Amino acid sequence: MTPARSLPSLLRPHTLSQLLPDLLLGVENLRLHKLRTLLTMLGMIFGVAAVVSMLSIGAGAQQQMMAFIEQLGVRNLIVEAREAATYEDLQKVRKISPGLTFRDWRVIKANTNGIVETSPRKRFTPTKILPKAQRDVPVVYGVEPGYLRIAGLHVVAGRWFEAQENDHAAPVCVLGDGARAGLYANQEALGQYVKVNEQWFHVIGVVAPQLTMQGSASALPTQDLNNLLYVPLYTALDRMEDTRSDLKDEIDGIYLQMLPSVDILSTAEVVRGILNNTHGGARDFSVVAPAELLAEQRRTQRIFEVVMVAIASISLLVGGIGIMNIMLAGILERTREIGVRRAVGARRVDIVRQFLIEATLISIVGGLIGIVFGFGMSRVIALLAGWSTIVTLSSILLAFLVSVSVGLIFGTYPALKAARLDPAEAIRYE
């Protein structure tokens, strides 16, 4: 007997004319066993749905994180003071380090090339505020005028404060979108006055909403970037300075925006070296380079996608085993049919093609249903969990191609087994 032909031989020109009759025969055979076919498809449906929905979660999280990192500014460097966990820890640190200071800021400016804009930051959490906040109390950011360009803020009403107002510690402020909504939900905020602790501030501007991550990004503290009240740096220091502890950092953040030609990562190492020297190696600060975060996020996302696809592919593997099991069982049921077809002139390649078409039909239809189901799952997850999900064309193609491949691979053995049946024995089989 001649051996069964390879898969490429099934697609030669003289066999293509047989595909349509075999396709119709395959559809008819699957239609006659609707429940069994549906149960066989379930593994493919859930496997494809899992791949699509998991990749949509990953794509949504990646897009949100990428947008947040780009908002931080890939040309920026951010120095953050690290807060001690307890007062005793803070006392120990202050024995070797003065904390983040204006002197650090001046040394960094003097020894770092390519700085476009820079601003120290002093942050305060008010104990009371008027009008009463309908949400969380806004956090006060004392920054220099250049912070507007460094942070990429967009003023949607009024204006940003000027250098002269900073120099004279003017009592003016600009509201973040969340602070505006919390203090003046149904009123015009521009021109109003806000009392922070014991100081009154004139609202001169409102900025557009910003992206805010639910968790902290690297060494950046968790902070609702919309629920902020921006004031000139010297206004914050002169009018709001907390003198109850001389152990606190003089400033708690430094922002640097660099020229496009500057190597951000090497500059970050220079800044770390300067601060390690001035802080006596206390490690009471962190230097965050959004460009570095961006590269790290991309590496993490690739690993996440590989792991998620591997986990979801287990369902496809189970589905493939289900196809093989049903096809092998179908051989026993259709042994006489196979024998009759061989007796009237059907070749082994015809039997192989028939069974492969049926296995492929199961995987294709199951894959299409799974794509629809996965798309629906991603929407439900976004609705219930509040996560950002994005169904990408690449995730759909990946899931579908894997589904069809699984059907072909696991349908090949039953097809070859059916083709090897002896026609005479098959006809006599009961």
Per-residue pLDDT of the chain (430 residues; tens, 9 = 90+): 444 444 444 444 445 566 677 677 777 777 777 777 787 788 788 888 888 887 888 778 777 776 666 667 778 889 998 887 777 888 888 888 888 999 999 999 999 989 999 999 999 988 889 888 888 899 999 999 999 999 889 999 999 999 999 999 999 999 999 999 999 988 899 999 999 988 999 999 999 998 766 544 555 666 788 899 999 999 998 888 664 455 677 898 999 998 988 888 888 899 999 999 988 888 888 888 877 776 776 777 777 777 776 776 676 777 777 778 777 777 777 777 777 777 777 777 777 877 788 888 888 888 889 889 888 888 888 888 777 788 888 778 877 887 888 878 887 877 787 777 776 665 665 5
- Residues in a beta bridge with 129: 196
* Closest of 409, 141, 132, 149 to residue 252, by C-alpha: 141
**Residues sharing a CB contact under 8 Å with residue 118, sequence separation 6 or more, in sequence order:** 105, 108, 109, 144, 146, 150, 254, 255, 256, 257
Q: Identify the pLDDT of residue 158.
A: 93
Assigned token pair, 24: 């119709």
Q: What is the pTM of this model?
A: 0.63
DSSP string, 146-191: THHHHTT--EEEE----HHHHHTT--EEEE-HHHHHHH-TTS--TT
Q: What SS3 class is residue 74?
A: coil
Q: Identify the pLDDT of residue 391.
A: 83
Cβ atoms of 105 and 271 within 8 Å: the answer is no
Q: Identify the pLDDT of residue 297.
A: 67
Q: Identify the pLDDT of residue 374.
A: 87
CA distance 194 to 180: 11
Assigned token pair, 402: 């894997």
User: Can you say whether the dihedral through the CA atoms of 181, 187, 192, 193 is positive or negative?
Assistant: negative
- Residues in a beta bridge with 115: 258
Report how far apart, in Å, the C-alpha atoms of 341 and of each of 329, 357, 423 are: 18, 16, 8
Q: What SS3 class is residue 15?
A: helix
CA distance 145 to 110: 20
Q: What is the DSSP letter of 227?
A: S
Q: Identify the pLDDT of residue 17.
A: 61
**Residues sharing a CB contact under 8 Å with residue 127, sequence separation 6 or more, in sequence order:** 197
Assigned token pair, 6: 């390879």
Q: Which residue has the tokens 């969380």?
A: 136
| Angle, CA of 225, 209 and 59, to the nearest 5° | 85
Q: Identify the pLDDT of residue 235.
A: 93
Q: Identify the pLDDT of residue 425.
A: 66
- Residues in a beta bridge with 352: none
Q: Identify the pLDDT of residue 203.
A: 95
For residue 296, count other CB atoms closer than 10 A to its CB.
14
